[in-house]
């Protein structure tokens, strides 16, 4: 892809299996305020975390095709499960650059760790794929990785139980073995999990460095846009359009309040 001197006003396409990927949108809005974003949440078929690799790949290709119909100049896979299982296929198949969640998170974690022992939490599918272990060891072959699936966290987040005694107890049930194992860095390997960052920080204290893959994905995308000459015009006020494949539930309001996003009228897109 050749870099261009001309600004590129086309939107960034972002997708997730649901609404959790709005954590990535929030990070993009902070870092790239003049970029327009078209976000597509596949709420009709969530969650992806329990689906087979072949199904996640098919869904990802279908959603990416809808983003290309919106003239997306690049696509962000704001879903760790789809990043783990479908990213190579997307990069082979579609004609624009694709940014996933795994590599940016791995780069930040290996830079942050002091003792070389990194914990990863995510959905069953993400953890089972081994994608974070591979990405972390590509960064540093000596790193030790302890990964843990946390399937109860997404339902708690979608209920809006971001600060509750029940959530704290379940978090510690998942996190205590990682602490006992000696991790000093924890990758939040699901786009829902940044909504629990305040609770996790409170429970773990300052000894554990939290790595939010959403923030690092946004930073990687900024570098891509600069490198390929695809930045929006500097005077442009970036717009956010959110589309879903099924009507939104109460989690959209929870996410909006937690992330302080201005989400206007929601489009419904049929697959």
Whole-angstrom Cα distance, residue 212 to residue 209? 10
- Residue 263 banded pLDDT, cuts 50, 70, 90: confident
Q: What is the pLDDT of residue 86?
A: 97
Q: What is the pLDDT of residue 1?
A: 45
What does the pLDDT average to over 191-216? Answer: 94
Q: Kindly state whether residue 196 falls inside one of the protein's structural domains.
A: yes
Domain count of the fold of the chain: 2
Catalytic residues: 79, 190
What does the pLDDT average to over 43-51? Answer: 89
Q: Do 254 and 227 belong together in one domain? A: yes
Q: Is the pLDDT of residue 3 over 80?
A: no
Range of the structural domain that residue 155 is part of: 102-213
Q: Do 79 and 180 belong together in one domain? A: no
Phi, psi of 244 (to 5 degrees): -130, 155
- For 69-83, 221-235, 243-257, which range has the lowest pLDDT when averaged over its residues? 243-257
Q: Do 106 and 204 belong together in one domain? A: yes
Q: Do 108 and 180 belong together in one domain? A: yes
- For 70-74, 116-120, 264-268, which range has the lowest pLDDT when averaged over its residues? 264-268
Domain final residue pick, 174, 194, 213: 213
Q: Do 106 and 209 belong together in one domain? A: yes
Q: Do 141 and 116 belong together in one domain? A: yes
Give the CB-side neighbour count of residue 132, counting CA atoms within 13 A. 32
Q: Is the pLDDT of residue 151 over 90?
A: yes
Tokens read off for 262: 């201005």
Q: Kindly state whether residue 197 falls inside one of the protein's structural domains.
A: yes
pLDDT tens sequence across 54-93: 999 999 999 999 999 999 999 999 999 999 999 999 999 9
* Omega within 30 of 0 (cis) for the link into 47: yes
- Residue 2 banded pLDDT, cuts 50, 70, 90: very low
What does the pLDDT average to over 130-149? Answer: 97
Q: Do 87 and 132 belong together in one domain? A: no
Q: Kindly state whether residue 7 falls inside one of the protein's structural domains.
A: no
Whether 106 and 175 have beta carbons less than 8 Å apart is answered as: no
Give the CB-side neighbour count of residue 270, counting CA atoms within 13 A. 0
Q: Do 117 and 207 belong together in one domain? A: yes
Q: Kindly state whether residue 1 falls inside one of the protein's structural domains.
A: no
Whether 218 and 32 have beta carbons less than 8 Å apart is answered as: yes
CATH number at residue 187: 3.40.50.1860
Domain final residue pick, 173, 192, 213: 213
Q: Do 107 and 60 belong together in one domain? A: no
Q: Do 193 and 223 belong together in one domain? A: no
């Amino acid at each position: 892809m050749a870099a261009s001197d001309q600004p590129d006003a086309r939107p960034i396409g972002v997708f997730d299996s649901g609404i959790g990927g709005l954590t990535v949108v929030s990070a993009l809005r902070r870092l790239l305020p003049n970029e327009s974003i078209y976000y597509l949440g596949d709420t009709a078929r969530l969650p992806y975390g329990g689906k087979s690799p072949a199904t996640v790949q098919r869904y990802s290709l279908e959603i990416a095709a809808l983003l290309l119909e919106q003239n997306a100049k690049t696509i962000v896979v704001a879903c760790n499960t789809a990043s783990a299982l479908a990213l190579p296929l997307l990069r082979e198949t579609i004609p624009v650059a694709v940014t996933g969640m795994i590599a940016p998170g791995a780069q930040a974690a290996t830079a942050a760790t002091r003792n070389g022992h990194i914990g990863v939490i995510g959905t069953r599918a993400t953890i089972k794929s081994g994608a974070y272990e591979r990405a972390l060891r590509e960064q540093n072959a000596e790193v030790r990785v302890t990964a843990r699936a946390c399937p109860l966290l997404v339902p708690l987040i979608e209920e809006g139980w971001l600060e509750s005694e029940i959530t704290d107890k379940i978090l510690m049930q998942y996190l205590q073995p990682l602490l006992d194992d000696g991790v000093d860095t924890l990758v939040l390997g699901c786009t829902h999990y940044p909504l629990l960052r305040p609770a996790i920080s409170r429970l773990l204290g300052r000894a554990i460095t939290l790595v939010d893959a959403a923030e690092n994905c946004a930073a990687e995308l900024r570098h891509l846009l600069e490198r390929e000459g695809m930045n929006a015009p500097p005077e442009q006020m970036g717009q956010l359009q959110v589309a879903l494949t099924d009507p939104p539930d109460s989690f959209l309001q929870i996410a909006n309040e937690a992330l302080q996003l201005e989400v206007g009228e929601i489009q419904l897109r049929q697959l």
